[in-house]
Amino acid sequence: MTLTTEQHTIIAGAIRDIPDFPQPGILFKDITTLLNDKKAFATLMQHLSDRYRGYDLDFVAGIDARGFIFGAALAQMLGVGFVPIRKKGKLPYTTVSEKYALEYGVDEVEMHIDAFRGIKDARVLLIDDLIATGGTAYAACNLIDKSGGRCVEACFVLGLEFLPGKAKLSTLTDVYTVIGVS
């Protein structure tokens, strides 16, 4: 299911561009204006709910931190559980982790070892606000799979099409971006 022209206009129109943030030459896509626009947020969430209703999901997993917003709301709409995937050291119980390369170093994401509540081959949708280079999402997808789940698709509100993230992640799972940015 793809967006209608009207849905695209409503959602894309609610995302603010911030030039030169966090550094000169970067055009930051600010989703806070989407979140506080009740019509745009409702349009986005209804679209995602319609898209994923037939996927027979067990869980929606959201990447720290903006993926929590979309993921928790979508999980509730679909009647499934929500799994937070967090930066290292932020979860209180026993975790499993996955490292990924940054431009100048390594980072790590974690989730609780029992996040899928013993469901074998749990069907999991991964969600976040944006995919750029894809490192965090790639690690999160690997983490889901190595924890006994199956990442059936990764969903992003925005996809920076001029960066390699979507192509990289598509080697692991299907990837859907609501709004592509070229």
Active site positions, annotated:
66, 103
Instruction: For residue 28, give the 3-state DSSP assignment.
Output: strand
Q: How many CA atoms lie within 13 A of 40 on its CB side?
A: 19
In this structure, are strands 122-131 and 59-63 parallel, antiparallel, or unpaired? parallel
Distance of CA 28 to the CA centre of its chain: 17
Q: How far is Cα 155 from Cα 67, in angstroms, rounded to an integer?
A: 10
Crossing angle for the helix pair 5-13 and 38-52, nearest 10 degrees?
Answer: 130
Asked if residues 138 and 100 have their Cβ atoms less than 8 Å apart, the reply is yes
- How far apart are the C-alpha atoms of 133 and 161, rounded to whole Å? 10
Contacts of 146 (CB under 8 A, 6+ apart): 96, 98
